[in-house]
Amino acid sequence: MQRIVESLMAQPFFILVLAFLVALFVYALLKKLLKILAFISLLLVLYLGYMIYRGETIVLSKKNLKDYSHQRLENIRKSAVEKATHGILKKQGNR
């Protein structure tokens, strides 16, 4: 390792090439991350547009989000209880 550092210090041209390659790598990485971020943003905008088109409520505050999540969980729980009860009654009726 020390030998590599010594050879790099003796040849400043290699340091410039290495710095250029590192800069190129960082640029490519940032470019790819920005493309991913743009794609995710586009998906989010399309989803929000679809939700508005359907007339769904879009929750933005913590309080509204908490109330909405409790409401959804309660609806899911009620639906599960109804389906389970219906399934049990259906099995008992088949016996």
* pLDDT tens by residue, 36-71: 999 999 999 999 898 888 887 776 777 777 887 888
Which residues does 51 contact at the CB level (< 8 Å), separation at least 6? Answer: 58
Q: Which two tokens stand for residue 38?
A: 């743009």
pLDDT tens per residue, range 68-92: 788 888 888 888 888 878 776 666 6
Long-range CB contact pairs, 13-22, < 8 A, 24+: none
What's the whole-model pTM score? 0.50
Which residues does 58 contact at the CB level (< 8 Å), separation at least 6? Answer: 48, 51, 52
